[in-house]
Amino acid sequence: MSILELREITKNFGATAALAGVSLNVAKGEVHALIGENGAGKSTLMNVLSGAIRPDTGSILLKGRKYEPTNTLDARKNGITLIHQELMLAPHLSVAENILMGMEKTRFGWLDPRKLNELAGKVLVDFGHPDIQPSVPVGKLSVSAQQVVEICRAIAARSEVILMDEPTSSLPRRDVERLFEQIKKLKAAGISVVYISHFLEEIREIADSFTVLRDGVTVDSGKITDVTDAFLISKMVGRDVNDLFPQREALKDAQTVLSVQNMSAPPMLESASFELRRGEVFGIAGLMGSGRSSLIRALFGLEKADSGTVSIEGKPARLNAVPGNRITNGLGYVSEDRKIEGLGLTLSIADNITLTRYSACSKFGWLSRNKQDRQAADLIDDLTIKAPDTRQSVSQLSGGNQQKVTIARLIHQDAEILLLDEPTRGIDIGSKAQIYQTIAELAAKGKAILMVSSYLPELFGMCDKLAVMSRGRLSAPRPIAEWTPELVMQASIGAGTR
Amino acid sequence: MEQELKPSASTNRYLRRWATLLGPFLGLALVIAVFAVLTGTPEKFLSPFNIRVVLSQTVIVAISAIGMTIIMIGGGIDLSVGSTIALTGVVTALGVNAGFDPIIALLAGILVGAVVGSVNGLTITGLRVVPFIATLGMLGVARGAAKWISGQEPVNTAPTWINNLVVTFPDPPWLMLAPGVWIALVLAIIATIVLRNTVFGRRVFAVGSNEAAARACGISTNRIRIAVYALAGAFFGLAGVMQMSRLRQGDPTVAAGAELDVIAAVVIGGGSLNGGQGTILGSMIGALIMAFLRNGCQQMGWPNFIQEIIIGTIIVAAVAVDQLRRKQL
């Protein structure tokens, strides 16, 4: 019997359909995995369930009764609690205050701290954590203990369904195991868990059943033991992974355009050496925080490099330069976070595209808005950016289209050497395919591309050669044919490449 | 995926742009209508005479709001406007008294404003002090400097043409409106064009919208920010000259609290404290709304504190309405 039942939920944000018909059945006391690519609608769905946003159409039944939460507190009172990817705790408040936040028992508005600690303490003890003191500020606890506090908050609210949005993405393996123990305890207590994760191994380990979302639609669901990983992936992606990547051929006898020797940029980057040729796509794999981004940022003049040599188009270049200087030398940069360092969200598409090279559409400091519009419209066409017109503000676009704008900017800039940090992070599959296509076209035109990515299929699908960053050291670049995903993983975690 | 830019798209674009200005326009119409009714003598409230009076009274806030709009689009704020107005007014008055040609005295006022603005810009970029604090400091420093150089007394000046810049009945009469009103209008148009059609203007928007992204696009963000504060300072300097013209003396204690009126004008006009947004036209309407409000309250014989309460409420209401509108779009 299902405790939670969603039928044909839809939700539109402006012109984009985040959810276009999601159905979901969660049984009592099961762990239900919600799987899907970034942008498939998982987070939107979680927000609908937790009362943060209201669906446009569709119905939700909780224990057979209509469930229409007005806000997150209402959802909690109804027995559904969301645990966010980033923990939502007030670090300066005590464990007890955090656990009972929003549902404090008061007498005429007065809090009784002893009573508060007692109540929270009981929840902690029942959940098998007498070790966590209710009166301690949450900021003093370890991350895994903080997660216990989050879970206890859900239990204290007598939740019957707990939603977990990528709870393990920032956890070390040891804490992941602890979390799984907690989830098993929840299960034993008859509480259902909806579990979102990218990691299929994790899902196999903890989940009973699954639902796959793609482009805001439920595409499949069933028992996890009945299906293979390959089946799940094909459902998530909606096509064979290999079709995503365009056929490429490396240019022959191409000249080296960027040469980096023994570059260091403390504290993240210890040493990196590589050469990049025209027409080449060079991939850098590695874990987050391994120094990949530091390498690109230092190269582009956004972080300070300490030592090493850089030469661009055969000429020695300054080790430390400002971005403007690098742009003059033909370098272009796409940040791993388009919202923080990529786009002026309130600005128009046209402004964002032409930002690095206004000279192409201005004379003596005077902008020709016609020219700017035309240049932007051409790139909007080339990259199939979905937008009503060139003056639309970028904030109104979907993530995938925003990312295409950052790539369009490099093309407008006419950069010869493209430094791409996670160029397809968090975007839909269609936009990914478009960006891969564009990268391939640029490479065929003789541009040199350096691409940092956490997504191995994309590195293997796009790159001519690859190196792995591990703890600030870049391995020797090798042709892609000499790598396997296992070798890359080994090198990433520093388990001896040789 | 097909993609075409339909002709109708550009009409949408204009609709959207005007929608952001619709609120301030409606607000202005509402304020005028309400006071026309409340005073019971709409023909008097809307008489050419009264409109001249209101426009003359708007000049100081309007010229300052041009500068403030540029700063706020660039992601900053300037709390030292009032003090800068006082300081530059005193400087101009002293210049006239020292026997300089009035035009030199006027330019000196503007120059001092630009210098004050540059110091703000350098403090913000060089010492990495947030704009709120840097200009809060300048609020004190400039006010103190004004009192110091004036000997803590208003500086009376011999009559020159500067004194006629914001009079209700201009000389020659065919000007219809005070010269200051025309100056404000011309400057507003120039500033609009600069913000819209020059590389500098678009870079100001870029820095205000996302400074990190602007830097990653090779824009020298510090240079832009210093230029913005210096330019705005020049506008505040000119506002100071207008203030001196209105009082016919350089008063070191004048325009205390003017920063709130100026910021309010920009915010009512659609400017955002988060930067990257705002229009000169909107800010000018904002300035007019405040001027009509004050004028209306005066005509009703309402005390000063009522004006203050109304204006405070309107600022918050304007921003709240703007937030609602954004949510719906």
Number of domains in chain B: 1
Identify the domain containing residue B72 by its residue range. Answer: 22-328
Contact map slice: A 337-366 vs B, CB within 8 A: 340-347, 351, 355-356, 358-359, 362, 365-366
| Helices (H) then strands (E): counts for chain A | 16, 25
Taking CB atoms and an 8 Å cutoff, what residues of chain A touch B3? Answer: 380-381, 384-386
Pair of tokens at residue A138? 């949450």
Position B7 in a domain:
no
Assign a CATH topology to domain A2-239.
Answer: Rossmann fold (3.40.50)
Q: What is the pLDDT of residue A247?
A: 86
Position B12 in a domain:
no
- How far apart CA A404 and CA A424 sit, in angstroms, is 9
Mean pLDDT per 10-residue run, chain B (329 residues)? 42 64 86 91 90 93 97 96 97 95 96 98 96 97 97 92 89 88 97 94 94 92 96 98 94 92 91 90 94 90 88 83 66
Q: How far A466 CA lies from chain B's nearest CA (Å)?
A: 25
Q: What is the pLDDT of residue A483?
A: 93
Cβ-Cβ contacts under 8 Å for A84 (sequence gap 6 or more): A165
Q: What are A232-269's pLDDT values in tens digits?
A: 877 887 766 567 788 888 777 789 999 999 999 988 89
Closest CA to A300 of B203, B217, B221, B225: B217
Whether residue A167 is preceded by a cis peptide bond, meaning omega within 30 degrees of 0, is no
* Beta-carbon-side half-sphere exposure of residue A146 (alpha carbons within 13 Å): 22
**Please, what's the largest Cα pairwise distance for chain A?**
81
Distance of CA B93 to the CA centre of its chain: 22
Q: Return the SS3 of A146.
A: helix
At position A349, the amino acid (one-letter code) is I
- How far apart CA A473 and CA B110 sit, in angstroms, is 56
Contact map slice: A 286-325 vs B, CB within 8 A: 300, 302, 322-325
Q: Is residue A92 a contact partner of residue A72, using CB atoms and an 8 Å limit? A: no
Whether residue B210 and residue A344 make contact (CB cut-off 8 A), yes or no, is yes
Question: From the candidates B193, B195, B202, which should be mutated to test the interface with A, based on the most A CB atoms within 10 A?
Answer: B202
Cβ-Cβ contacts under 8 Å for A248 (sequence gap 6 or more): A281, A440, A443, A444, A462, A464
Position B8 in a domain:
no
Going by the DSSP 8-state scheme, the letter that residue B198 receives in this structure is B
Whether residue B198 and residue A365 make contact (CB cut-off 8 A), yes or no, is yes
Q: What is the pLDDT of residue B79?
A: 96
Q: What are A138-192's pLDDT values in tens digits?
A: 988 887 788 888 888 888 888 899 999 888 766 667 778 878 988 998 899 899 9
With 0-12 / 13-18 / 19 or more C-beta atoms within 10 angstroms meaning exposed / middle / buried, residue A173 is exposed
Provide the 10 A C-beta neighbour count for residue B205. Answer: 25
Going by the DSSP 8-state scheme, the letter that residue A81 receives in this structure is E
Q: How far B63 CA lies from chain A's nearest CA (Å)?
A: 24
Q: What is the pLDDT of residue B329?
A: 47
Q: What is the pLDDT of residue B6?
A: 41
With 0-12 / 13-18 / 19 or more C-beta atoms within 10 angstroms meaning exposed / middle / buried, residue B320 is exposed
Provide the 10 A C-beta neighbour count for residue B284. Answer: 27
Q: How far A375 CA lies from chain B's nearest CA (Å)?
A: 13
- β-partners of residue A19 are A11
- How far apart CA A467 and CA A489 sit, in angstroms, is 12
Q: What is the pLDDT of residue B2?
A: 37
Placement of tokens 């709390």 in the chain: B79
Q: Is residue A263 a contact partner of residue A272, using CB atoms and an 8 Å limit? A: yes
Pairing assessment for the beta strands A478-479 and A465-470 based on DSSP bridges: antiparallel
Taking CB atoms and an 8 Å cutoff, what residues of chain B touch A345? Answer: 209-210, 276
Pair of tokens at residue A178? 């602890």
Pair of tokens at residue B214? 């602007």
CATH number at B311 reads: 1.10.3470
Q: For chain A, list residues with pLDDT below 70.
A: 1, 15, 38-39, 105-108, 169-172, 239-242, 494-498
At position A101, the amino acid (one-letter code) is M
Q: Write down the architecture of domain A243-492 according to CATH.
A: 3-Layer(aba) Sandwich (3.40)
Q: What is the pLDDT of residue A250?
A: 74
Q: Domain residues of chain A, as ranges?
A: 2-239, 243-492
Position B14 in a domain:
no
Question: From the candidates B8, B217, B329, which should be mutated to test the interface with A, based on the most A CB atoms within 10 A?
Answer: B217
With 0-12 / 13-18 / 19 or more C-beta atoms within 10 angstroms meaning exposed / middle / buried, residue A424 is buried
Pair of tokens at residue A314? 């055969």
Whether residue A346 and residue B196 make contact (CB cut-off 8 A), yes or no, is no
Closest CA to A232 of A197, A264, A278: A197
At position B156, the amino acid (one-letter code) is N
Q: How many CB pairs under 8 A join A and B?
A: 108
- How far apart CA B268 and CA B280 sit, in angstroms, is 11
Closest CA to A333 of A307, A311, A287, A302: A302
- How far apart CA A388 and CA A400 sit, in angstroms, is 15
> Which residue of chain A comes nearest to B206, CA vs CA?
A344
Q: How far B39 CA lies from chain A's nearest CA (Å)?
A: 42
CA A130, A134, A135, A139 torsion-angle sign: positive
Taking CB atoms and an 8 Å cutoff, what residues of chain A touch B206? Answer: 344, 347, 351, 355
At position B131, the amino acid (one-letter code) is P
Cβ-Cβ contacts under 8 Å for B280 (sequence gap 6 or more): B66, B69, B188, B191, B192, B195
Q: What is the pLDDT of residue A410?
A: 95
Provide the 10 A C-beta neighbour count for residue B303. Answer: 10
Placement of tokens 């606890």 in the chain: A141
C-alpha distances in angstroms, A183 versus A95, A150, A265?
Answer: 20, 12, 41
In which element (H, E) is residue A230 found?
helix A229-237
Position B3 in a domain:
no
Q: Do the first three CATH levels of A2-239 and A243-492 match, i.e. the same topology? A: yes
